Amino acid sequence: MGENVENAPLFFSSEYKFGIDSKRRVQIPAKWRGVSSGGTFTVLVWKKKAGQGACLLALPPAAMVDLMQKLKEMPFADPNAEALRRSLGARSDQVVMDKAGRICLPDKLAALAGLKDDALLIGMFDRFQIWDPERYDEASAQDEEIYDEAIQLL
Which is more confident, 142 or 3?
Answer: 142
Give tens-digit pLDDT for 91-136.
Answer: 999 999 999 999 999 999 999 999 999 999 999 999 999 999 999 9
Phi-psi region of 7 (alpha: psi -120 to 50; beta: other; left: phi over 0): left
- pTM comes to 0.90
Side chain identity, residue 85 = R
Question: Can you name the residues that pair with 27 across neighbouring β-strands?
Answer: 102
Give all domains of the chain, ordered by start, each with its CATH number. Answer: 15-147 (3.40.1550.20)
**Would you report the helix, strand and coil content of the chain in percent, each value rounded to 5?**
40, 25, 35
- The pLDDT of 148-152, averaged and rounded, is 91
Give tens-digit pLDDT for 42-73.
Answer: 999 998 777 778 999 999 999 999 999 999 99
